[in-house]
């Protein structure tokens, strides 16, 4: 079964607005990653947060991790039409950080 | 660097046929993985390898075989294709040493009729 569950399944916003996606997981983790997938393409790594970190930033991306609630959120600020894609969280097991389990993804649409 | 390459991009098989999906990476990554992605779903791990000569099963290994004779290549074999194996297949590689970031190929879209 999928380790991660993402919320919402789909999100539609206007350009310039912020987009927030959430991910919950079930077991103890070593790390949590976010990936982007444009339609018909492979996944591209966005950002990684380790289990001992609470917040991380990269450009317009902000990721938080709450290990007590087993949840993470990805915030994309000042969204652009080019941010339209599916976003997946992936968790690395505590025992094997390299083996990832993916959530079902959030489909983000940014309208110009 | 070409990164992770996969061939073919598209393939149609009849039930019972066998085939090999090719995956190669030129980044000298130790770890390689195969995933399948079904419509509206995330990726599920089929098989993975932590180095040449070492492979292990993932979440959904049945009906698939892998081998890793070189660092660069990690082919996925479908032994006897079934309609349930219709999916998009992604290969990924990862450098050892705790960075955990995976690099993905463009995918192979497989249809089994």
Tell me the pLDDT of chain B (113 aa) as tens digits. 789 999 999 999 999 999 999 999 999 999 999 999 998 778 999 999 999 999 999 999 999 999 999 999 999 999 999 999 999 999 999 988 767 899 999 999 999 99
| Residue A1 predicted with pLDDT over 70 | no
Among A75-79, A103-107, B74-78, name the one with the lowest average pLDDT. Answer: A103-107
* Paired sense of beta strands B87-94 and B76-78, if any: unpaired
Which residue from B minimizes the CA distance to A88? B42
Mean pLDDT of A36-42: 93
- Among A93, A52, A5, A2, smallest CA distance to B100 is for A93
Distance (Å, whole) CA A11 – CA B92: 27
Among A6-15, A46-55, B67-76, B97-106, name the one with the lowest average pLDDT. Answer: B97-106
Which residue from A minimizes the CA distance to B60? A1
CA distance B17 to chain A (A): 25
Distance (Å, whole) CA B111 – CA B36: 12
Question: Chain B within 8 Å of A4 (Cβ-Cβ)?
Answer: yes
In this prediction, residue B32 carries a pLDDT of 95
Distance (Å, whole) CA B34 – CA B21: 10
- Token pair recorded at residue A95: 């025992």
What whole-number percentage of chain A has pLDDT above 70?
93
Distance (Å, whole) CA B87 – CA B78: 12
Provide the chain A residues 38-77 that lie in CB contact (below 8 A) with chain B. Answer: 40-45, 48
CA distance B10 to chain A (A): 12
* Paired sense of beta strands A43-50 and A29-37, if any: antiparallel
Distance (Å, whole) CA A107 – CA A109: 7
Helices marked H in chain B — which ranges? none
Which residue from A minimizes the CA distance to B93? A98
For residue A42, the domain's CATH number is: 2.60.40.10
* Paired sense of beta strands B76-78 and A106-111, if any: unpaired
In this prediction, residue A48 carries a pLDDT of 94
User: Which residue in this structure is represented by tokens 């149609």?
Assistant: B12
Name which of A2, A33, A98 is nearest B31 (Cβ-Cβ): A98
In this prediction, residue A83 carries a pLDDT of 98
The reply to whether residue A43 touches residue B40, judged by beta carbons under 8 angstroms, is no
Q: What residue numbers bound the domain in which A14 lies? A: 5-111
In this prediction, residue B96 carries a pLDDT of 83
Q: What is the 3-state secondary structure (H, E, C) of chain B?
A: CCCEEEECCEEEECCCCCEEEEEEECCCCCEEEEEEECCCCCEEEEEEEEECCEEEECCCCCCEEECCCCCCECCEEECCCCHHHCEEEEEEEECCCCCCCEEECCCEEEEEC
How many contacts, defined by CB atoms under 8 Å, are there between A and B?
61
- Token pair recorded at residue B55: 């492979």
Domains of chain A: total: 1
| Residue A111 predicted with pLDDT over 60 | yes
Name which of B35, B42, B103 is nearest A104 (Cβ-Cβ): B42
* Paired sense of beta strands B4-7 and A100-102, if any: unpaired
Residue to test with chain B: of A35, A41, A99, A104, most B Cβ within 10 A: A99
In this prediction, residue A86 carries a pLDDT of 96
Name which of A30, A43, A104 is nearest B41 (Cβ-Cβ): A104
In this prediction, residue A95 carries a pLDDT of 67
């Amino acid at each position: 079964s999928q380790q991660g569950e993402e919320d919402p399944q789909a999100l539609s916003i206007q350009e310039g607005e912020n987009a927030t996606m959430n991910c919950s997981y079930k077991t103890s983790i070593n790390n949590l990653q976010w990936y982007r997938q444009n339609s018909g393409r492979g996944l591209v790594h966005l950002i990684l947060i380790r289990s001992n970190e609470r917040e991380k930033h990269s450009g317009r991306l902000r990721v938080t991790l709450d290990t007590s609630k087993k949840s993470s959120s990805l915030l994309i600020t000042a969204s652009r039409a080019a941010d339209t894609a599916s976003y997946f969280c992936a968790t690395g097991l505590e025992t094997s950080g390299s083996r990832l389990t993916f959530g079902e993804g959030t489909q983000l649409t940014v309208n110009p | 660097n070409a990164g992770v390459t996969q061939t073919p991009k598209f393939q149609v098989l009849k039930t019972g046929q066998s085939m090999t999906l090719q995956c190669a990476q030129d980044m000298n990554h130790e770890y390689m993985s195969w995933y399948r992605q079904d419509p509206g779903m995330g990726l599920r791990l089929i098989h993975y390898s932590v180095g040449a000569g070492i492979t292990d099963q993932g979440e959904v290994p049945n009906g698939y075989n892998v081998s890793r004779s070189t660092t660069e290549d990690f082919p996925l074999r479908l032994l006897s294709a079934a309609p349930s194996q219709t999916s998009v297949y992604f290969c990924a590689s990862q450098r050892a040493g705790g960075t955990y970031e995976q690099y993905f190929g463009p995918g192979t879209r497989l249809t089994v009729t």
